[in-house]
Structure 1
């Protein structure tokens, strides 16, 4: 038996409704069409009050298998929770900055643009790297033959216009 679609899993868990006050955005490989059997469902949230966000996560998801919650150390101290539902691992990330400014969302929207511009050839190349064990951002960087830290280099190109991105895709042979 195969697991539910990521959309069905999201609907079944009611995760977007539970997190509605935190502006949840679905990101990651399933909506990009680049998921593997081990892929999770990423939900990015705006959490200006980490204590409130943690309370919502605890109240909403603590009964799910493998529920865990933690808060990073650092400047804005994001809160992360994970759990399993519908044979998917969910990872919920809350940060005290709007989702559209978060690194994970910036990567995701760039990857959407790249796939729209590069089509099936780029998607196939990225998937080949993913099947070899690379995470999403390193797979995109490898497919585009970009040098340096893949997470930083993707942020660096995220402000390029579509023509410049198309040129990168073409020059990489995709």
Structure 2
């Protein structure tokens, strides 16, 4: 059985409306067109009150298959939950900082920008690395010739203008 498009799964889950108070944003590989058959749907949320976010997740999704929720250790202690819906694994991430400042969103934004500039050739090159087993950020780093920590290195591209990014893509 093939799973529906991620947009259909989003609609069936109701996650964007149920969590509207937490400014949910869809990130990750499906909206980039880089998903594999086992990719999940990532939802990033602004959750200044982790208890309220956890309560909303519990109320909305506790009965779905595979539901699990935990809170990371660290300065802002993000809350993470996952569950299955409409053939997809959903992973929800709620952090006290606004979504635009979260590392996951920043990675997504630079990857989206790179793909808009590099087009199908860049997408195909990244997908070849993904099919070979690389996670998304390492796949981009490999294709772009970035050395070191791929997650940190991708963020160094954020401030570059389109000409500099096109030069990096062309290299």
User: C-alpha offsets along residues 69-96 of structure 1, whole Å, 9 cap, x if unaligned?
Assistant: 0000001100000000111000000000
1:35-85: CA deviations, max 9, x gaps? Answer: 000100000000000000000000000010000000000011000000001
CA distance in 1, matches of 2:158, 2:133: 24
CA distance in 2, matches of 1:102, 1:153: 16
**How is 1:126-165 mapped onto 2 (pairs within 5 angstroms)?**
126-165=126-165
Structure 2: give runs of 5+ residues left out of the alignment: none
Alpha-carbon deviation of 1:6? Answer: 0.3
**Paired position in structure 2 for 1:124:** 124
Count of residue pairs the alignment pairs up: 171
Please list every run of at least 4 consecutive aligned residues from structure 1 whose deviation after the TM superposition is greater than 6 angstroms.
none
- Residue 159 of structure 1 and its aligned partner are, at CA, apart by 1.4
**In the alignment, what sits opposite 2:94?**
94
Classify the secondary structure of the residue corresponding to 1:157: coil
Deviations 1:101-153 (A, max 9, x none): 00000000100000000011000000000001111000000010100100000
1:103 and 2:103 aligned: yes
Give the 3-state SS of the residue equivalent to 2:156 in structure 1. Answer: helix
TM-score, normalised via structure 1 length: 0.97
The answer for the alignment partner of 1:72 in structure 2 is 72
Matched residues in 2 for 1:166 and 1:64: separation?
Answer: 44
Q: Secondary structure at the match of 2:69?
A: strand
Distance in 2 separating the partners of 1:21 and 1:75 = 22
CA distance in 1, matches of 2:85, 2:159: 36
Deviations 1:9-38 (A, max 9, x none): 000010101110000000000000000001
Corresponding residue for 2:14? 14
After TM superposition, the score normalised by the length of structure 2 is 0.99
Task: Point out where structure 1 has 5 or more consecutive residues left out of the alignment.
Answer: none
Q: In 1, distance between residues paired with 2:58 and 2:38? A: 24
How far apart are the structure 2 equivalents of 1:24 and 1:117? 26
Separation in 2, partners of 1:161, 1:70:
38
Query: 2:52 — aligned with what?
Result: 52
**RMSD after superposition:** 0.5
